[in-house]
Amino acid sequence: MNERPLDGGEALLAAFRRLGIEYVISSPGSEWSPVWEALARQKVEGKNGPKYIGCWHETTAVAMGMGYTNATEKMVAVLLHTGVGLLQGSLPIRSAYMAQVPLLICVGESTSYGADPHFDPGSHWLTDLTEVGGPARLGESISKWSATVGSSWTLYGSAVRAGEISKSVPQGPVILSLPMEVMQGSWSLPSQRPEPPQISRHQPDSKTIGQIANILSKSRSPVILTEACGRSEEGFARLIELAEILSIPVIEKGSPLYANFPKDHPLHMGYDIAPFLDETDFFLVISCRAPWYPLTISPPKGSTVVILDENPIRPQLVYQSLQADIFVEANVASSLSAIVDAIRSNGIELSGTRERKTRWESQHYAMQEARSKKVQSHSSEKPINATWLCASINEVMPSDAIYVEETIVHSGTIFEHIRWNQPRSFFHPVGGGLGLGLGLALGTKLAIPERPVVCLIGDGAFLYNPIIPFFGASREYDLPILVIIFNNTGYASMKRAHLRSYPGGMAERSDIFYGSKILGPNYSDLIRPFGGYGERVEEPEQLKGALQNGLDAVRGGRSALIDVLLSTSPPKAK
């Protein structure tokens, strides 16, 4: 029996190997048979190459890829079903674009539509599946780069180049459209390098670093503000080092995207920059998209603002106010390390460090004591208060738990009360759209299987997620997740916004709030057909036992869903 010649499926897998891609995640379509053939050949012949993961929904597939990349800094490839699949996956692609997460998104298409007498793609490609301008055009506004491959001979090189574009600074998802006619064309392996290339990131300028170290060491009241310094483990570690050497308080801006700094560290000062504005004379702003909000909040006159980020000025944002005196466009961890080295090596006199250490430690422990009192005041409330739920999570979950959070009105309570002190212990989706949390949790578990992954999610956000595909992938690929639903039976953010705009209005007087009520099911029942553990909690004294049951199920290899009924009153906006 003669072997078929190599084609685009082999070319694509060869490109993935060249890029160091370890996983191909797909919500499959009929155009990908060359890849399925190449993957089958890879397995039968025992070749090294990427593993395949199939998902039942495009949103889950892309979000899972983003979760894996967030947790490992390793890019994955995602295969989607032409333009319609790209549209289904557009929300997490946009999120990856806003968060600068590299992903290689491949979509299929046809260019012959059945006119080629030697190839029949099927009539649906003529009538239903083709896009004017090609499917890559659909993703132009939500990706870093998109293009169509025009030849089987350029397929390998195009895929390698797309991956390198995705991983170059600023990082982001790229979209590569691969026509079936190109994929099924003949191809032979070109001369290539055997290993993925090493990438050396932009290093900070030594003169600028020396200037920053000198100003910072003489500052009376410096503050560090960050949103995503903890994107890498090295960034997390270097931030601790710099904060400790100068006793600088660290504030995680509004809604942090990662675990950036240990929350139990005495220099962790919460999430609100406003109380620090008047007295601060030096702001070190690390990986923040919008450090000053509302825009009436701004650094005081005479203060110094240093922005440290690989890509501080983000063109994907319509408006941005950074108010910087100095930009450092370089690798974050390397820049922090260079600042520390400059302070130590130059023998710079550190002004006020000991006094600052005493002050911030005292204030940190006072904040912790106030939180403890707040927890106790809510411990017996019915319906359950979200503060008590967070405190119960703290008591039950191990110190190495990883939290993936997708809530809106409860995010402030989660940040304030749930502890995470290790790098890569917290992830938050970017972009404003709901429906990504479960997929992110799957990707995180795939990346770090030895640690428990806990998805903290509101009932509204939960319903936007592809729930059945999530449970299916969790079971099929042995990725047990603990899902905790913060269930206030509604879209409380909508109600809160209405009350802010129309205080004392007709809706408030009549208690008629359109668009805010969710008449959902008993969510704990949804996981049972997939062999998972489900429990609904309505009494505060049942919380810890239910959470322990869920954790035990996950440790036993089953996903678990704990549905916690909370107060329906929206928390007050800070």
Q: What is the DSSP letter of 557?
A: T
115 or 473, greater pLDDT: 473
316: which 2 tokens? 């994907």
Q: What is the DSSP string of 353-377?
A: HHHHHHHHHHHHHHHHHHHHHHHHH
* Cβ(470)–Cβ(442) below 8 Å: yes
Q: Which amino acid is at 295?
A: L
Angle 84-85-91 (CA atoms, 0-180°, nearest 5)?
A: 105
Residues in the chain: 574
Query: Would you call the peptide bond into 383 cis, given omega within 30 degrees of 0 as the criterion?
Result: yes
The predicted pLDDT at position 569 comes to: 65
Q: What percent of the chain has pLDDT over 90?
A: 74
320-335: average pLDDT: 94
Task: Give residue-wise pLDDT tens across range 422-459.
Answer: 999 999 999 889 999 999 999 999 999 999 999 999 99
Q: What is the DSSP string of 134-155?
A: -GGGGGGGGSSEEEE---HHHH
Say which residue the tokens 């949804």 belong to. Answer: 526
141-154: average pLDDT: 94
Q: What is the DSSP letter of 186?
A: B
573 pLDDT above the threshold of 90? no
Task: Give residue-wise pLDDT tens across range 339-355.
Answer: 999 988 876 556 678 88
What is the rounded CA–CA span in Å between residue 538 and residue 258?
31
pTM score of the predicted model: 0.94
Q: Which amino acid is at 429?
A: P
Task: Give residue-wise pLDDT tens across range 27-77.
Answer: 988 899 999 999 999 999 999 999 999 999 999 999 999 999 999 999 999
Name the band, by pLDDT with cuts 50, 70 and 90, for residue 258. Answer: very high
- From residue 240, alpha-carbon distances to 213, 226, 304 in Å are 16, 12, 21
Domains and CATH numbers, the chain: 8-183 (3.40.50.970), 206-362 (3.40.50.1220), 379-565 (3.40.50.970)
The predicted pLDDT at position 172 comes to: 97
Task: Give residue-wise pLDDT tens across range 360-404.
Answer: 999 999 999 999 999 999 998 999 999 999 999 999 999 999 999
Q: Which residue, among 187, 111, 130, has the nearest Cα to 155 in the 3D structure? A: 187
Burial 169-186, CB ≥16 within 10 A → b, else e: ebbbbbbbbbbbbbbbbe
4 pLDDT above the threshold of 70? no
Sequence-separated (6 or more) residues with CB below 8 Å from residue 518: 459, 460, 463, 489, 490, 491
What is the rounded CA–CA span in Å between residue 35 and residue 302?
60
Name the band, by pLDDT with cuts 50, 70 and 90, for residue 12. Answer: very high
523 pLDDT above the threshold of 60? yes
* Cβ(53)–Cβ(25) below 8 Å: yes
Sequence-separated (6 or more) residues with CB below 8 Å from residue 394: 417, 418, 419
* Cβ(259)–Cβ(422) below 8 Å: yes
Q: What percent of the chain has pLDDT over 70?
A: 96
83-95: average pLDDT: 95
78 or 153, greater pLDDT: 78
190 pLDDT above the threshold of 80? no
What is the rounded CA–CA span in Å between residue 378 and residue 374?
7
Could you tell me how many helices (H) and strands (E) the chain has, helices first? 20, 17
The predicted pLDDT at position 407 comes to: 95
460-467: average pLDDT: 96
* Cβ(76)–Cβ(145) below 8 Å: no
182 pLDDT above the threshold of 60? yes
| Helices of type H across 403-518 | 411-417, 437-447, 459-464, 467-476, 492-501, 506-510
176: left (phi over 0), alpha (psi -120 to 50) or beta: beta
In whole numbers, what is the pLDDT of the chain averaged over residues?
91
* Cβ(106)–Cβ(156) below 8 Å: no
312: left (phi over 0), alpha (psi -120 to 50) or beta: alpha
| CA end-to-end span of the chain | 71
- From residue 41, alpha-carbon distances to 2, 29, 89 in Å are 14, 19, 28
407-415: average pLDDT: 93
Q: In angstroms, what is the C-alpha Rg of the chain? A: 25
What is the rounded CA–CA span in Å between residue 94 and residue 99?
9
Q: What is the DSSP string of 391-430?
A: HHHHHHS-TT-EEEEE-STTHHHHHHH----STT-EE---
Q: Which residue, among 305, 262, 246, has the nearest Cα to 280 in the 3D structure? A: 305
